[in-house]
Chain A
Amino acid sequence: MSTSSNSPLTAGTTRLVNLNSVLPWVIAAVALILLPQLFGSRSALTIINQMAITIVFALSYNMLLGQGGMLSFGHAVYMGLGGFFSMHVMNMVEGGLWLPLPLLPIFGGLFGMFFAFLIGSFSTRRAGTVFAMISLGVGELVAACSVIIVIFFGGEEGVSGDRTMGPEVFGWDFGSHEQVYYLTIFWLLIAALGMFLYSRTPIGRIANAVRDNEERAEFLGYSQRNVRWMSFIASGFFAGIAGALFAINYEILTEENLNLATSGTILLVTFLGGVGFFVGPIVGAIVFTLLQTVLGLYTELWGLYLGILFLATVMFFPFGLTGLIAMHIAPWKMGKIGHLVVPYAMLFFPAVLAILSGAAFMEILFHIREAGVGDSEMSLYGITFDSHAIWPMATAIVVFVVSVFIINRLSARVKAAWDEATHTGRAGS
């Protein structure tokens, strides 16, 4: 077992406070500042901003699920309400209120925090299923209210505004995507750092203790209910910041920001990345946004692939994608990672082939059903072929079966190598 770590990768699960981890933050900040040099187009910035918003939201969600052990089905409420209030503040700015745009997320955070305080006062009394079901009920109620209370939520059209109406900051009016990008990553870094430091405070530690054993924490003199409530309020604050960033980026908030689908998505994102790690939600948010928005550009079946990936993650890597990486820290530290290189390299090609051929099978089937008559030409992975002919389908099936067979044969070998690599006995044994 590893006892401490210098990287934020395992923060929240380790017990030692280690503030020597400034380096990853600096690297992240520099990378984010330089990113527009690489991806400067409007759409790339839009998608990166979307990732940043999802990261803040997912991190705030993990304050509940990962650090506090609270499963929520209604977390969109706090992001959404924070966003709606920010939108109204933004419209007040248009009406003459003096407030530079970069300060708006503070308001979003405070509103999210306020509602978390209110709703948390009764929902955090219990943990487990009771908390989960109350969050579901509250989520559904607030989402329903958003359609009924038109004067505040704007009904189906939502509430929109214009971010460029505030006072300029250093000559920036935030009309361009690039300026909004820098504002977004500024808040992304602040919020992520805030949540990271929170997990290192005594309150954050106690939340872990309550998650692991309520009674023991209670014997130590901590009211488990108050600890959960505190985590909930803090989480609401950061969710509200995410909401305000959404308001700034899209200049519109709708019922979509509050509904159960959004709440469910964030659970999915967080779990996909790995709930037990601070960076888990970050990985989840990046992978999910890529799948939804970028893969969605190429195939209408993205939802199907996402569903399969998600189920496979829960079944085979319950600690998420980050968990998969973190598993290799121990062999790395023991200098035994070399044992794994060859088996992994052997596994790589069949695995890629299995995924590609499996997807090809479904895409061909989908094309046969959806495309028009005479439009049997389809192109996949840069190959153009006739989707109605027998050989593409046959190839996909054969490749899939063969590669799965090879993976099956190799798995024993990989497992042996894994056992060898993680074996903590004497070196060379």
Chain B
Amino acid sequence: MSLLIVNILDGLVTGLLLFMLCSGLTLIFSMMGVLNFAHASFYMLGAYFAYQISLITGFWLGLIVAPIAVGVIGALIERYGLRRVHKYGHVPELIFTFGLALLIEEVVQFFWGRSQLPYNIPEALDFAAFSIAGNSFPAYKVFMIFIAVGIFITLLYILTKTRIGMTIQAALSYPETVQNLGHNVPLVFMGVFGVGTAMAGLAGVIAGPILGTFPGMAVLLGSIVFVTIVIGGLGSLWGALVASLLIGWIQTFAATYNVRMEDILTSVGFTKPEPVWDSAWQDLWTLTLPQIGPILPYLLMVIVLVFRPQGLFGKRES
């Protein structure tokens, strides 16, 4: 029971972290219709920038400066790269971001090398906030929850209550009309891309110390971010939130509970072949839930797409 509570909290942290990436990605998608394949690369850039800054000034300045730097780079890439490709259509746009992801990984390796970086939790937060049945819950994770929730509330407020938010929402659905009303839609696009990538950068800053800062960190997270927003429904902020939390919990629980295929098969009435190593079904018999945990989101996505192509909360198809 106590482990269950810990797991729910851990899943929440994973889910919220995922949401910080997904919210930016889904905003960019709804606005420009392009799936930004390089989104997780901006997350990686955030972690590397923050590490570099933390060497000089410590963690806290990096928390603010690194996301801004990532956002500026994102906006510049939108202005001078993506906008140029935009006129060729969506597939070249997507392929552009795909190439961008490759290039960012190479550039990061060029400057920071290929090793793991010693980017660590700030000392002020390096203690256990509380502990449940021997499992301590680090204060840093509490901090992560606060940051993520803070981001979500701010985003929701800006999008629904402010003038700029209204413009963005309008530009999502009727870009021409908004343009004709005198708003600078390309500037809005650039701003949204910048803010979206800055949020990915922020996620990198706070996730780097606990998930590791290394050149493979973008690839590790890259495709799961897409899976999340596709399951949630492209362009839906609430869908992204629900799907992020869902995937956070699925992954946590799948890793925790050692459901074994052997138990399932025997309870259905099969007998285990002995020795199992000679059986053609050896791999099925030895299968466990933690083994397949990380691929469950992909399975979920395929099922969702086959039966509900617009995703759980999506209103329109692709």
Check if A137 sits within 8 Å of B103, measured CB to CB.
no
B230: chain A residues at CB < 8 Å are 129, 133
Check if A148 sits within 8 Å of B283, measured CB to CB.
yes
User: Complex formed: what's the CA distance from A122 to B303 in Å?
Assistant: 10
Partner of A136, one of B105, B226, B295: B226
CB-based nearest A residue for B33:
A129
Check if A141 sits within 8 Å of B295, measured CB to CB.
yes
Check if B309 sits within 8 Å of A130, measured CB to CB.
yes
Tell me if B299 is interfacial: C-beta within 8 Å of chain A: yes
Check if A129 sits within 8 Å of B227, measured CB to CB.
no
Q: Do A140 and B96 contact each other (CB < 8 Å), given the known contacts A129-B234, A304-B106, A307-B103? A: no
User: Complex formed: what's the CA distance from A128 to B306 in Å?
Assistant: 14
Least Cβ–Cβ distance between B33 and chain A, in angstroms:
9
A267: chain B residues at CB < 8 Å are 95, 98
User: Complex formed: what's the CA distance from A149 to B285 in Å?
Assistant: 11
A306: chain B residues at CB < 8 Å are 102
Check if B291 sits within 8 Å of A148, measured CB to CB.
yes
| Stretch with Cβ within 8 A of A (4 or more), from B6-14, B83-91, B127-135, B266-274 | B83-91
Check if A140 sits within 8 Å of B317, measured CB to CB.
no
Partner of B298, one of A137, A314, A369: A137
Partner of A311, one of B103, B226, B298, B305: B103
User: Complex formed: what's the CA distance from A362 to B110 in Å?
Assistant: 9
User: Complex formed: what's the CA distance from A280 to B226 in Å?
Assistant: 29
Least Cβ–Cβ distance between B222 and chain A, in angstroms:
9
B122: chain A residues at CB < 8 Å are none
Partner of A314, one of B96, B287, B294, B301: B96
Check if A307 sits within 8 Å of B291, measured CB to CB.
no
Check if B110 sits within 8 Å of A144, measured CB to CB.
no
A125: chain B residues at CB < 8 Å are 306, 309
Check if A130 sits within 8 Å of B305, measured CB to CB.
yes
Check if B298 sits within 8 Å of A140, measured CB to CB.
yes
Q: Which of A140-186 contact B (CB under 8 A)?
A: 140-141, 144, 148-151
Contact with A along B30-54 (1 / 0, CB 8 A): 0000010000000000000000000
Tell me if A35 is interfacial: C-beta within 8 Å of chain B: no
CB-based nearest B residue for A147:
B291
Check if A304 sits within 8 Å of B91, measured CB to CB.
no
Least Cβ–Cβ distance between B230 and chain A, in angstroms:
5
User: Complex formed: what's the CA distance from A144 to B285 in Å?
Assistant: 17
Q: Do A304 and B110 contact each other (CB < 8 Å), given the known contacts A133-B305, A140-B295, A310-B102? A: yes
Tell me if A260 is interfacial: C-beta within 8 Å of chain B: yes
- Total interface residues on A, CB under 8 Å, equals 42
Check if B107 sits within 8 Å of A133, measured CB to CB.
no
Check if B292 sits within 8 Å of A144, measured CB to CB.
yes
User: Complex formed: what's the CA distance from A132 to B81 in Å?
Assistant: 23
Least Cβ–Cβ distance between A228 and chain B, in angstroms:
14
A137: chain B residues at CB < 8 Å are 227, 298-299, 301-302, 305
Partner of A151, one of B85, B98, B282, B309: B282
Tell me if A36 is interfacial: C-beta within 8 Å of chain B: no
Contact with B along A62-74 (1 / 0, CB 8 A): 0001000101000
Check if A133 sits within 8 Å of B292, measured CB to CB.
no
Partner of B96, one of A130, A308, A315: A315
B227: chain A residues at CB < 8 Å are 133, 136-137
Q: Do A311 and B299 contact each other (CB < 8 Å), given the known contacts A128-B318, A362-B110? A: no
User: Complex formed: what's the CA distance from A307 to B215 in Å?
Assistant: 15
Q: Which of A65-118 contact B (CB under 8 A)?
A: 65, 69, 71
Least Cβ–Cβ distance between A391 and chain B, in angstroms:
23
User: Complex formed: what's the CA distance from A140 to B299 in Å?
Assistant: 9
Check if A151 sits within 8 Å of B35, measured CB to CB.
no
Check if B103 sits within 8 Å of A271, measured CB to CB.
no
Check if A310 sits within 8 Å of B99, measured CB to CB.
yes
Tell me if B4 is interfacial: C-beta within 8 Å of chain A: no
Check if A71 sits within 8 Å of B91, measured CB to CB.
yes
What is the interface of chain A, defined by CB distance below 8 A to chain B? Answer: 65, 69, 71, 122, 125-126, 128-130, 132-134, 136-138, 140-141, 144, 148-151, 260, 264, 267-268, 271, 301, 303-304, 306-308, 310-311, 314-315, 318, 362, 365-366, 369
* Cross-chain pairs A/B with CB under 8 angstroms, 6 sampled: A132-B35, A133-B305, A140-B298, A141-B302, A307-B102, A307-B107
Task: List 9 extra interface pairs beyond A133-B227, A303-B106, CB under 8 A.
Answer: A122-B306, A126-B309, A129-B234, A130-B305, A130-B317, A138-B302, A141-B299, A150-B283, A151-B283
